[in-house]
A and B are shown apart, each in its own frame.
Chain A
Amino acid sequence: MRRRRWPLLTVLAFGYAFLYVPILLLILYSFNESRLVTVWTGFSTKWYVELFRNKQLLDAAWLSVRIAAVNATLAVVLGTLAANALVRHGTFRGRTGFELLLTAPLVMPDVIIGLSLLLLFVAMQQTIGWPDGRGFTTITIAHVTFSMAYVAVVVRARLSQMDRSLEEAAMDLGARPLRVYLAITLPLIAPALLSGWLLAFTLSLDDLVIASFVAGPGSTTLPMVIYSSVRMGVSPQINALATIIVAVVTLAVVIAGISMRRGRGA
């Protein structure tokens, strides 16, 4: 007897529809001519043109991208160091505590991270005069604190899969520890570094809560602009912007996926 497949396929279709129809609608309406978001009148790219004339939105987007890039880079460096310590240095004193503190931001509510960092920054400004005001620096620091935890998880998984004897072999063949790290370890964990970077980038790019706490005047990130403009009524420009972001994120996810798969094959 042939097994009937349509019940399963229906469930699957509903699942996908639930996840992706809203996004498809958003993309569709970004090409809508009407000012009203919910009424389709005809195809047009005028909202894209208007988007590129909207200085406030573009500035916010550029700020977000810069923060995301700096954050991702710092998070990869710190997260990799942390992962190295956990995987490579066995049971050092305070290992459990270190592990716990490292992964805490993964489960800590954003509101609490944001509030506590705000308090810290204010206190620091009063006592040592740095950071001077809040803006790019404070948002970046705030983002690094939680995204390095994600990077550490990704890199740690990769490192612990790696055959330890590869590094030992390199050392045995005369390579000093730094050289071993650069010539053997780094190339082998590179896929994890790349996906960690992309993950940290994305996390930073769409963070609204934490950024709202630690941002200052004149440092409005993209999610903050979108959120506040939506409250005053949605402009189709936002749809256009969202479409561009979806395209970029999709590309990034595809690249990360491919590089991870390649890494596993090696």
Chain B
Amino acid sequence: MATLAERRSLEPWQDPKAVPYLRIDRITKKFGDVYAVDDVSLEIFQGEFFSLLGSSGCGKSTLLRMLAGLEYPSSGRIYIDGVDVTDVPAYSRPVNMMFQSYALFPHMSVEQNIEFGLKQDRMSRRERGERVGEMLELLKITELRKRRPDQLSGGQRQRVALARSLAKHPKLLLLDEPLGALDKRLRENTQFELVNLQERLGITFVTVTHDQEEAMTMSTRIAVMDAGQIMQVDTPTAIYEFPTCRLVAEFIGSINLFEGKVVATEGDEVVVETRVGRPMRMRSFHPMVLGTPVTVAVRPEKMRLCADFREDGVNQLKGRVEDIAYLGDVSIYRIRVGDGALVEMTLTNVQPRTEQALTWEQEVAIEWSPTSGVVLTE
């Protein structure tokens, strides 16, 4: 069993010697005057489960379509396994794609759908039969082989689409909102299945999703996109815990933001004066110049109730409970602190709800540690 530190050093994106399997080099795509994708560069490694995450219209789908060859970039190059494929048409690329609508051919049976790609490769009939059988088995849909797409449920269609896109044994599979059309429970099961499948086959997956939970559970790394640009590329943990800008911080989960400016630095900590309470003390990974406008970002679950509120305590705030949202496992509290700001705090419901300590209009004190948040400069 590798220790965490050892595993860390094995991650290819941290290894300067690792060669990326897919390299996107300054890709730009313009539709008329609109930049759908604006100067994007990415390196994706063999065996990764890479997610492009963003709200609709952020350019993630366009980027994926350019990887498939369904759209040609206005400028920039795409390299797959070291080969420049920018001008290679879709039908000659060593890449397959699973479409959001699944795009199953309605006039063909499940079997024929899966076989379609193999036929284009002039594979022999016997080999084709074997491969189709293998795919049917892999996705546990053998009993559906004779059905037509309109005789399948949503979940079954998703499996057929996946089988079809995997049939040619691509080294790189592109998935456009792979779970988007499934209902919530099915989606959760399928998430894990998809990850297991990807690990077993060793294929590099690049998916597009607008669902942050989906991206968090499945991905090795996530690229958060907005307005055609990449805001941050990192592991799910890093994206969540250490966002580098406000946009990423707000897009993933909920977060408390306090705007202010740097008034002092002490070691690796900065002191930030905000409109709320006394100056906050936060750890910072970068040296900061005094007077820099910054935003202190703290996740609601990093907040805790403060037993001994002191006038000179670090990162302590006093306020009144204004809203309580009971979600079963946790409760979300909205606390009105001085100067009218609302602070969100999540507490795990260790005790049954009826015995909960906090109630509306109650005066509380909350606090957080200088290491459980980040200081954002943009």
The answer to whether A188 and B116 have CB atoms under 8 Å apart is no
Residues of A within 8 A of B237 (CB): none
A187-B112 Cα distance, complex, nearest whole Å: 14
The answer to whether B150 and A174 have CB atoms under 8 Å apart is no
The answer to whether A171 and B91 have CB atoms under 8 Å apart is yes
The answer to whether A174 and B117 have CB atoms under 8 Å apart is yes
- Total A-B pairs, Cβ < 8 A: 65
The answer to whether B164 and A173 have CB atoms under 8 Å apart is yes
A172-B69 Cα distance, complex, nearest whole Å: 8
Which residues of A (134-193) have their CB < 8 Å from a CB of B? Answer: 163, 165-166, 168-177, 179, 183-184, 187-188
Give the residue of A169, A177, A179 whose beta carbon is less than 8 angstroms from that of B103: A169
Which residues of A (248-266) have their CB < 8 Å from a CB of B? Answer: 265-266
B101 contacts chain A at the CB level, 8 A cutoff: yes
The answer to whether A188 and B96 have CB atoms under 8 Å apart is no
- Minimum CB–CB distance from B345 to chain A (whole Å) comes to 45
A170-B104 Cα distance, complex, nearest whole Å: 9
The answer to whether B117 and A188 have CB atoms under 8 Å apart is no
Give the residue of B90, B100, B107 whose beta carbon is less than 8 angstroms from that of A171: B90
B251 contacts chain A at the CB level, 8 A cutoff: no
Residues of B within 8 A of A165 (CB): 99-101, 103
Q: Mark B117-157, 1 if CB is under 8 A from A, else 0.
A: 10011000000000000000000000000001010000000
For A187, give the chain B residue with the smallest CB separation: B107
Give the residue of A175, A184, A188 whose beta carbon is less than 8 angstroms from that of B91: A175
B70 contacts chain A at the CB level, 8 A cutoff: yes
For A176, give the chain B residue with the smallest CB separation: B91
Give the residue of B69, B116, B121 whose beta carbon is less than 8 angstroms from that of A170: B116
A266-B109 Cα distance, complex, nearest whole Å: 12
**Most A CB within 10 A of own CB, among B89, B96, B120, B164:** B120
Give the residue of B92, B97, B107 whose beta carbon is less than 8 angstroms from that of A266: B107
Residues of B within 8 A of A176 (CB): 91
A245-B318 Cα distance, complex, nearest whole Å: 91
Which residues of B (61-117) have their CB < 8 Å from a CB of A? Answer: 68-70, 89-92, 95-97, 99-101, 103, 105-107, 116-117
The answer to whether B120 and A174 have CB atoms under 8 Å apart is yes
**Most B CB within 10 A of own CB, among A170, A174, A184:** A174
Residues of A within 8 A of B95 (CB): 172
The answer to whether B106 and A172 have CB atoms under 8 Å apart is no
Given contacts A173-B120, A175-B120, A179-B120, contact A168 B105 (CB under 8 A): no
- Minimum CB–CB distance from B353 to chain A (whole Å) comes to 47
Q: With contacts A163-B103, A172-B90 known, what are 8 further pairs, Cβ within 8 A?
A: A166-B105, A168-B103, A173-B117, A173-B120, A174-B168, A176-B91, A179-B120, A183-B116
| Contact sample, A vs B, 15 pairs, CB 8 Å cutoff | A165-B99, A165-B100, A165-B103, A168-B103, A169-B97, A171-B69, A172-B68, A172-B70, A172-B97, A173-B120, A174-B121, A175-B120, A176-B91, A184-B105, A188-B107
Q: Taking beta carbons and an 8 Å cutoff, which residues of B are in contact with A?
A: 68-70, 89-92, 95-97, 99-101, 103, 105-107, 116-117, 120-121, 148, 150, 164-165, 168
Closest 5 A-B residue pairs measured CB to CB?
A173-B117, A174-B120, A169-B103, A165-B103, A266-B106
